[in-house]
Amino acid sequence: MTGPILTVEDLRVRYGRVEAVRGVSFDAAAGELVTLVGANGAGKSSIINAVSGLVRPRGGRILFEGRDITRTPAHRLVRSGLVQVPEGRQILATLTVEENLRLGAPRRAGIGEVYGRFPVLAERRRSPAGTLSGGEQQMLAIGRALVARPRLILLDEPSMGLAPRIVDEVFGVIGEIRSSGTTVVLVEQNARRALRAADHGYILASGEIVHSGPAAELLGDDRVVQAYLGVET
């Protein structure tokens, strides 16, 4: 296939009077890791939810592998290879690890592969998911998306609330997913970290893209660093 795997054109999302996304355009080439970064309320989740069919856009167009998916519901997108790992993980605490993974793919296609990638999930397969640590729960949320063997995975703030060492692990996994050929769209408040992992970046403020470019260029741009990345910690 030529052209981007994902194209978002002039996307608009409203909740009543709140204009959460105000004409956002971006794309992702196949095999790329693209990140959208921005502060609380910038519109990151609204964009990712619109792309994955969970929120109906007020305007604009979304193309996946060249097909218009602007109004395609989420469950059909999962079957066609586009999955989201939602903000806050949203695993089902009382179900076992394996039951959570089965929710990702009724035919259980990729569960063995997920256990190969995350040995800790294999060890804990019969434990209630609620007994996993925060980092393990994030791995489970990512694993549940991978059992559908997606070609495009959208991650909404996977590092949120995790200790620095676990954040490293999560970013390691994201890098591996990308290396295996899956296109990744990563949404993060942890802008510096996300840009370091990404090929291309888009900086979002109040529902609009205010800077974009190769991630390395954004990290080297003083205006971007001062306004959006803050001091290094």
Ligand X SMILES: Nc1ncnc2c1ncn2[C@@H]1O[C@H](COP(=O)(O)OP(=O)(O)OP(=O)(O)O)[C@@H](O)[C@H]1O
Residue 108 backbone zone (phi > 0: left; psi -120 to 50: alpha; other: beta):
left
- Which residues in this chain contact Mg ion in the complex, by CB under 5 A? 44-45, 87
Q: Is the alpha carbon torsion for 39, 177, 91, 119 positive or negative?
A: negative
Query: Is position 100 an interface residue for ligand X (rule: CB under 6 A)?
Result: no
Query: Closest distance between ligand X and the C-beta of residue 49, in Å?
Result: 7
Q: Considering CB distances under 5 to 8 angstroms, the limit depending on partner class, which of Mg ion, ligand X, none binds residue 40?
A: ligand X
- Measured in whole angstroms, how far is the alpha carbon of residue 110 from the centre of its chain? 19
Q: b/e for 54-69, b at 16 or more Cβ within 10 A?
A: ebebeebebbbbeeeb
Question: Which pair of structure tokens corresponds to residue 157?
Answer: 């703030």
**Planar angle of CA 32, 34, 37, nearest 5 degrees:** 170
Query: Is position 45 an interface residue for ligand X (rule: CB under 6 A)?
Result: yes
Q: Considering CB distances under 5 to 8 angstroms, the limit depending on partner class, which of Mg ion, ligand X, none binds residue 38?
A: ligand X
Question: How many whole angstroms separate alpha carbon 67 and alpha carbon 163?
Answer: 39
Query: Is position 201 an interface residue for ligand X (rule: CB under 6 A)?
Result: no
Q: Considering CB distances under 5 to 8 angstroms, the limit depending on partner class, which of Mg ion, ligand X, none binds residue 83?
A: none
Which of 87/113 has CB closer to Mg ion? 87
Q: Which stretch binds ligand X (CB under 6 A): 42-50, 95-103, 123-131, 138-146?
A: 42-50
Query: Is position 15 an interface residue for ligand X (rule: CB under 6 A)?
Result: yes
**Planar angle of CA 194, 196, 197, nearest 5 degrees:** 65
Question: Which pair of structure tokens corresponds to residue 171?
Answer: 């970013």
Which of 45/52 has CB closer to Mg ion? 45
| From candidates 20, 162, 184, 197, binder to ligand X by CB under 6 A | 20
Residues that bind ligand X (CB under 6 A): 15, 18, 20, 38, 40-46, 87, 189
